[in-house]
Amino acid sequence: MHEINQSVFFRQATQAHLRLLQESEQIRMLESARPYTPSLWDKVALILGNWLISLGSKLRARSIYTKLSEKHV
């Protein structure tokens, strides 16, 4: 009788586990189908990236090495 009870609990646990796997798969599919919307951090990172690029361009334009290479070309 003890073995019968164990098999019943094992079958119930297996069914519950499969049900949880199916539910998590459905939730994952719903999450992946949702379109991505940029957050505030994405906007801040974009602004900082643009600022760094423009700063680098300005520094390169004022560099003495750039002026020397332009004269020699």
Segments making up each domain of the chain, as ranges: 1-34, 38-73
| pLDDT score recorded for residue 21 | 95
Q: Are 66 and 60 in contact (CB under 8 A)?
A: yes
| pLDDT score recorded for residue 69 | 59
Whole-prediction pTM value? Answer: 0.43
Q: Specify the DSSP element, H or E, that contains 71.
A: helix 64-72
Instruction: Flag whether pLDDT at 1 surpasses 50.
Output: no
Task: For residue 57, give Cα distances in angstroms to 15, 61, 62.
Answer: 62, 6, 9
Top pLDDT among 46 and 72 is at 46
With a pLDDT cut of 70, the percent of the chain lying above it is 82
| pLDDT score recorded for residue 24 | 95
